[in-house]
Amino acid sequence: AKVFMSCNLITGMFQRLDKMRKQAFASVCLFGEDNNSTISGVWVWRGKELVFPLSSDWQVDYESYDWKKLDPSSEETKKLVQDYFSWNGTDKDGRKFNQGKIFK
């Protein structure tokens, strides 16, 4: 897919999750280039479990993605969060950062 199409997927997800805006923050990044890209992000909300099951309004799209709980004391997590919040770095396959979007 073209980069702009992948970027539109992020925007669409954010629009569908609008009711979650007061409960969450995210930095979602698009890595790579046309026909070779990935979407990945770091989400923050209150609590220690996935927030989506708490409201049917929040369950849009969440099953389309893989979710991993991060260990806040891990150096790997600290580096990942720093990269995603500063829009730097690469994805796990070495694709370079292309664009980012903030959910707030």
Q: How far apart are CA 91 and CA 89, in angstroms?
A: 7
Q: Tell me the pLDDT of the chain averaged across its residues.
A: 93
Say yes or no: domain 3-103 is CATH 1.10.10.10: no
Task: Return the pLDDT at 63.
Answer: 85
Residues 13-39 have pLDDT tens digits of: 999 999 899 989 999 999 999 999 999
Exposure of 47 by Cβ count < 10 A (0-12 exposed, 13-18 middle, 19+ buried)?
exposed
* Torsion, Cα of 96, 93, 78, 27 (10° steps): 60
Task: Return the pLDDT at 86.
Answer: 97
Task: Return the pLDDT at 13.
Answer: 92
